[in-house]
Amino acid sequence: MNRNVEIKARIRGEDHLRHILSRFGQNKAEILHQRDTFFHVPRGRLKLRETSSHSELIFYDRPDQCEPTVSEYLTLAIEGVDTHRMLLEASLGIRGVISKRRLVYILDQTRIHIDDVENLGSFIELEVVLTPDQSIEHGQRVAKRLMELLDIKSGDLIPSAYIDLIDTAPLNSSR
């Protein structure tokens, strides 16, 4: 399986965050509109991700923790997304759907995502992609250093996935 070390946090000020990112020479972000359909599975999370240019099935497993945490994942590019969605819905059932606008910055081996998630708000994710010879501790050090540089406080961290936040959100909540 592939591995990364990741964190997710609420954004306190997107303009300030973009300014900090621009200091690293990351002035241009890739803009993605993603729709993630999550399915019921006995462990981990399984989602069908759709963008305007491609679709993929993603399985990942990571503990829900408010600290840089290892995530193991597998991806599979797919065609015929509607047929795959129907098959997965019929066999596993849909847990929920997350729609978001994502800005993707790349800094060395780290993917930095700034997400505007429908019905949840704005978040930042750091994903330190590990090579097979790199330790989890290395990824945690990189993530913690970036958290300091980007002024991400431990109180901003979110332990779970967006789908879990939707599952636990009050029915009539607003952003």
For tokens 């999550």, name the residue.
38
What is the pTM assigned to this prediction? 0.88
Domain spans, the chain: 2-168
Q: Which stretch of 32-41, 104-113, 152-161, 165-174 has the lowest confidence by average pLDDT?
A: 165-174
C-alpha 108/C-alpha 134 separation (Å) is: 14
Closest CA to 107 of 150, 78, 161, 168: 150
Residue 26 CA to its chain's centroid (Å): 19
| Fold type of domain 2-168 | Hypothetical Protein Pfu-838710-001 (2.40.320)
pLDDT for position 47: 98
Q: What's the mean pLDDT when you consider all of the chain? A: 91
| No. of helices (H) and no. of strands (E), the chain | 4, 8
pLDDT tens figures, 33-73: 999 999 999 999 999 999 999 999 999 999 999 999 999 99
Please state the length of the chain.
Answer: 175
pLDDT for position 39: 98
